[in-house]
Structures are given as C-alpha cells and as structure tokens.
C-alpha cells in the first residue's frame, strides 16, 4: 500500500457560503470542485497538492458544539480536530492575524516540542489547528514514544507489524476488478459522454 496523504476530509455545514468565505477567502484554499442539486452540495477545498477538505451542505445540520481541542469527552464521539500543516512560523502568524482581523478567535502560538501550533474554529465550530515543524525536529525520520505507560502493542514499535491480520488468500484478479459510477462524474464528463 502506498499512501499519498489525506485525499479529503469530509465535513458538514448548513451554510456553504459562509464556509466558502472562510476556507477559500480567509484561509486562501482554492475551491477546486463543487457538486450540487436541490438540498445537497459537496464542495472541495485544496489544502496542498495532495490534500483537500470537503464540505457537504445539508439544510438541517446545526453547527457542532464548540469543544476545546484535545479535551476529553464522554459518550459517542469520533472527531476532535483537524490539523493543517503549514511551512513555517511566519505562516502561523499570518493565519493568526487574518483570523483575528476577521473576528475569529485564535490561540497563542504553542510550542509542542516537535510542532508549533495555532488553534481556532471555523464557522461550523469545527476545531482546527495549524501546525508547522520545529526546525531540526523530524519525528517521521526519528519516531519517538514518550508515553510513560505505553501499551504492549505500542511497545512493538513504529513499523507495521506483520502477522497481526490475516493475509488475503485470493487477491482480486485483474479481470474481476470493477469500478462503479458515483457522485462527481459530472465534474469530468464531456458533452459527448
């Protein structure tokens, strides 16, 4: 398996126009695709050459309750925050200034040892973080687990462990591989199709 990044994160909004204004105009992420019909929109914003964030517009969805980044909760829960990488500290300061000028709360710049981070919320109350690497620190090249009480599974190390899951007995033969049409084909179909 060869991963290239996060193709897209899919979020929800009730107000696509406010979402476009925030992600495209304030944060300067290009709006690269839009799908829609009555009662439904799905728009994609480019974070980097490999990564996007997308929003479904659903007329009856309400903004989520604001929750501080990383603060534990109880009950059903799946998502805490999204962290978007930036080049360096100058980008963090530029984003902080833009957020505050637009009336959005923005945290101080926080030094986590391996990344510097800025925290905020989008108009849908989605918790967002912007992070840049600390110069000279690369946890991808030099993984480190500072957990004082790691589980036995974590102690196995950073590399994928073979033999922990069944190996496919019969990979799908080329002749049986099918791809079915879905939403979004209208972005690339021509009048001839």
Residue 118 phi/psi, 5° resolution? -125, 135
Q: Which of 38-42, 73-77, 159-163, 187-191 has the lowest mean pLDDT?
A: 187-191
**Residue 111 shares a structural domain with residue 138:** yes
Residues 69, 136: Cα–Cα separation, whole Å? 26
The CATH number covering residue 7 comes to 3.10.180.10
**What number of CA atoms fall less than 13 Å from residue 47's CA on the CB side?**
20
Residues 169, 105: Cα–Cα separation, whole Å? 52
- pLDDT of 193 reads 57
> CA of 59: how far to CAs of 39, 79, 90, in Å?
7, 21, 38
| Domain presence at residue 41 | yes
Scan for tokens 């829960």, then name that residue: 77
pLDDT tens-digit map of 118-149: 999 999 999 999 999 999 999 999 999 999 99
Query: Are β-strands 82-85 and 110-111 bridged in parallel, bridged antiparallel, or unpaired?
Result: unpaired
Domain that holds residue 109: 79-154
pLDDT tens-digit map of 22-31: 999 999 999 9
């Amino acid at each position: 398996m060869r991963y290239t990044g996060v193709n897209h994160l899919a979020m929800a909004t009730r107000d696509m126009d406010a979402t476009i204004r925030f992600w495209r105009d304030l944060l300067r992420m290009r709006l690269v695709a839009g799908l829609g019909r009555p009662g439904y929109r799905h728009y994609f914003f480019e974070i980097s050459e490999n990564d996007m964030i997308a929003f479904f517009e659903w007329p009856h969805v309400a903004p989520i309750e604001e929750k501080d980044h990383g603060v534990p909760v109880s009950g059903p829960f799946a998502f805490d925050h999204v962290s978007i990488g930036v080049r360096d500290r100058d980008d963090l300061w530029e984003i902080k200034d833009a957020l505050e000028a637009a009336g959005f709360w923005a945290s101080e710049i926080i030094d986590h040892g391996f990344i510097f981070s800025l925290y905020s919320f989008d108009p849908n109350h989605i918790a967002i973080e912007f992070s840049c690497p600390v110069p000279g620190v690369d946890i991808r090249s030099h993984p480190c687990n500072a957990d004082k009480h790691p589980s036995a599974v974590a102690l196995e190390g950073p590399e994928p462990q073979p033999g922990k899951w069944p190996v496919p007995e019969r990979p799908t033969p080329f002749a049986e591989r099918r791809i079915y049409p879905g939403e979004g084909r209208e972005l690339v179909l021509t009048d001839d199709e």
